[in-house]
Structure 1
Amino acid sequence: MELVTGGELFDRIVAKGSYTEKDASHLIRQVLHAVAFMHENGVVHRDLKPENLLYFNQDEDSKIMISDFGLSKTEDSGVMATACGTPGYPPFYDENDANLFAQIIKGEYEFDAPYWDQISDSAKDFISHLMCCDPEQRFTCQQALAHPWISGNTAYTKDIHGSVASHLKKSLAKRNWKKAYNATAAIRQLQMLRLSSNSNRIGQQQRATTSAFQV
């Protein structure tokens, strides 16, 4: 596999001094071309999210790479009904998992203020077509690539880095906390497995000793 050294998408955006809708449009165009290529070859990623979008290198104009195909499937695998992905991402929020999943299934979301106040109607229209629950109405990659926000000049060029970076920092902090929690849980589980393994080994040795005395 190719070595990717440019870092994650969120980190690059936060580190930049400015960011515009035009920058976002250029980024999403690359992602759409990559997803279209996968779909043309019968591959469904099933876990597209910011952490899985990496820059190829440190260059300012570096291309975006899609990573982590652990949940991906091929179309000839049959019906894909496995629960997968990362549900706790914008635009869906709820502390209760049942309510969160209900929101996702129904496609209930809002363009929350103040984060979306300065965003163009064209961007919101583009997103709405991608977030459509009805697969017959939802944009394909080719339709998305033809949308004015991607192929035209409707993406704003106003610098929105302040509000974007602030929101991303909160998401990064939450994600890093989850990583730390998961790492701690994994270590605890490994320790439990090790203790269980040692206990089983000691038990086997004791049984073997008892058998030897009986003989």
Structure 2
Amino acid sequence: MLPFQVLQQKPYGKAVDVWSIGVITYILLCGYPPFYDENDANLFAQIIRGEYEFDSPYWDEISDSAKDFISHLMCCDPNMRYTCEQALTHPWINGNTARTKDIHCLVAPHLKKSLAKRNWKKAFNATAAIRQLQMLRLSSISHAAAAASTSAASS
């Protein structure tokens, strides 16, 4: 998942890494990515607009402090986004605001499902690419045969 500065082909610095940490933290806490769409153009538009949610029931057990941390890391405006130093001083990181509840049983199924979708999409794209290559090969063979036929007829 590319940060929107990369998608917009703008120069970028450490703020992109901070955004990526926000995305990774989001995934680790709920088991699925903050942005998702089958269509890449729609996915990129979501990323650029910063459209994500803390969906219930998946985020119900996650502290408000964790959500605040992620929101500051994934702020669309890189000038308003937390710096590394600010992130390290956030109460969720250096305080006692994280809940002690084990969320593994809540996160693991969603993470597995998300990974399965990603693998399925890769397999689909690979199959489509192979099919396209086969079509190109058949097309070039038929063009070569037509050229040979035309050449033989004119001799």
Which category describes the TM-score, using the shorter chain as reference length? Answer: 0.5 to 0.7
* Cα 1:188/1:96, change in 2 over 3 Å: closer
How well do the aligned residues superpose, as a CA RMSD in angstroms? 3.2
Match of 1:127? 70
Partner letter of residue 85 of structure 2? Answer: Q
Q: Tell me which stretches of 4 or more aligned residues in structure 1 moved more than 6 Å.
A: 95-99
Please give the alpha-carbon distance, in whole angstroms, between the structure 2 residues aligned to 1:195 and 1:146: 61
Match of 1:144? 87
CA deviation map 1:71-124 (0-9, x unaligned): xxxxxxxxxxxxxxxxxx732456777765554443333211111111122211
The offset of 1:179, in angstroms, is 1.5
* Pairing 1:33-72 to 2, within 5 Å after superposition: 39=13
TM-score (norm 2): 0.66
Partner letter of residue 141 of structure 2? Answer: N
Structure 1 spans left out of the alignment, 5+ residues: 1-38, 51-88
Greater percentage in helix: 2
Greater percentage in strand: 1
Match of 1:187? 130
- How many percent identity over aligned positions? 75
The alignment covers a number of residue pairs equal to: 132
Match of 2:118? 175
Please give the alpha-carbon distance, in whole angstroms, between the structure 2 residues aligned to 1:97 and 1:184: 18
Match of 1:204? 147
TM-score (norm 1): 0.50
SS in 1 for 2:87: helix
